[in-house]
Amino acid sequence: MNCPSSSCCGVSPPVLANPRGEFAASCSTRITQKVHFFGSRPSSQIIYSPTSSHLSRRAVIALAGKQSWDIGRFAKTLFFFNGPPNPLKIVESIMSSITASAPTEAPKKAETSDVVLVTGATGGVGRRVVDVLRKNGVPVRVLVRNAEKARTMLGPDVDLIIGDVTKGDTLDPKYFKGIKKVINAVSVIVGPKEGDTPDRQKYSQGIKFFEPEIKGPSPEMVEYLGMQNLINAVKESVGLSEGKLLFGFKGNLCGKFVWGALDDVVMGGVSESAFQIQPTGSETGEATGLFKGTVSTSNNGGFTSIRTKNFTVPEDLSPYDGVELRVKGDGRRYKLIIRTSYEWDTIGYTASFDTTKGEWQSVRIPFSSLIPVFRARTATDAPPFDASNITALAHVQQV
């Protein structure tokens, strides 16, 4: 039989689905940075009115017993998320299940401490900063122009990046993976007009005064343009203080993720939902995502959800501590699922949250609160959540 539901939910990036009755949700999702935090029932259909933002209850129809299963919708769902069937993959899967002596656990990602990047590490201030960090057991990586000089001054085992902040093309973002904090000790080079020794003895002696001049690039090149280049290089690893918008209707983000309904039809159920764009459905009268459908417990079903297709390139959210959803709910409880694997039938990291009926609200979900779940059961041997490898998002509501 079906389950009652009246739901309306607006969200920030991911969109929430209501498992019972017809419901709506407008959504957008923002990542929150570390520094900021831290039985059977009768069925009912709920209709969402985008003009008044109210849900009105229609006739309640109790349906008991088994209902016909829509195999066509089942195939359509699988095709949407997985593409056309590949016979070779099917054969490989069968052979693997026959020959495998025991299931193998996915390799766990090695836990690493946050790395601090020090720029200008061969200068007077930079050397002292590196020394203090090392003495306190902090992992350090240095950005220098001269590798030989850096190893002579800081030791042969120093973790270094060769680059020049005044030359943006030398600062490839892939070199800055794992860096969570940056200490910028880069400055213009100042020396005596009359020249200095190779090890800058005149500059360092601190007793006799020598008429100074700037050697090399100007302050504008080093401290202004250089800072811009550095920020562009590290921002994906370090993160932005205002967070990162994952899904919304600013710019081209509404088309970044492809959302589709993933209902209990995949396990023989008859619940049905859809995702739409409401041009004026948000709290500011702008576009928002609308999730609506009907949830039924017939055929042992009882959930609807909306999920993104697997991302072409995984999202690296390791600079952040969690996600923030902007939602308008119906007072019911929802579930967010974050996936870190491209496999179809695999572990999802989940968190549930409550909504306030008819009110827009911000919901923060720390990554530390996520629970690994596989086929509706907690996976006690799951690898730690890897925020650097987000492959898909989903919202669920179930009976």
AA identity, residue 380:
T
Residue pair 370/339 in contact (Cβ under 8 Å)? The answer is no
b/e code 332-344 from CB counts within 10 Å (16+ = b): bebbbbbbbbeee
Residue whose entry in the numeric block shows the structure tokens 């459908």:
293
Of 23, 81, 108, 107, give the one whose Cα is nearest residue 394.
81
Kindly list the domain boundaries of the chain, sorted by start residue: 7-83+245-398, 115-238
Q: Residue 1, Cβ neighbours under 10 Å: how many? A: 16
CA distance 356 to 360: 8
How does pLDDT run along the chain (399 residues), one tens digit per residue? 333 333 344 444 333 333 333 444 444 555 554 333 232 233 333 222 233 333 333 323 334 455 665 566 556 665 555 666 555 554 454 444 444 444 444 444 434 457 899 999 988 889 999 999 999 999 999 999 999 999 999 999 999 999 999 999 999 988 888 888 899 999 887 667 676 666 666 656 666 666 777 777 888 888 889 899 998 888 888 877 777 888 776 655 555 677 877 776 666 776 777 787 888 878 888 888 777 777 777 777 777 788 888 888 898 888 888 999 888 878 888 889 999 998 877 899 999 999 888 889 999 999 999 999 998 899 999 999 999 899 998 877 666
Give strand pairing partners of 328.
360
Q: In terms of Cα–Cα distance, which of 126, 106, 101 is closest to 116?
A: 126
Q: How many DSSP H helices and E strands does the chain contain?
A: 7, 23
Q: What distance lies between CA 302 and its chain's CA centroid?
A: 28
Contact (Cβ atoms closer than 8 angstroms) between residue 298 and residue 66: yes
Beta carbons within 8 Å of 145's beta carbon, 6+ residues apart:
162, 163, 164
For the full predicted model, state whether its pTM sits above 0.75: no
Query: Which pLDDT value is given to residue 70?
Result: 59
Superfamily of domain 115-238, CATH level 4: NAD(P)-binding Rossmann-like Domain (3.40.50.720)
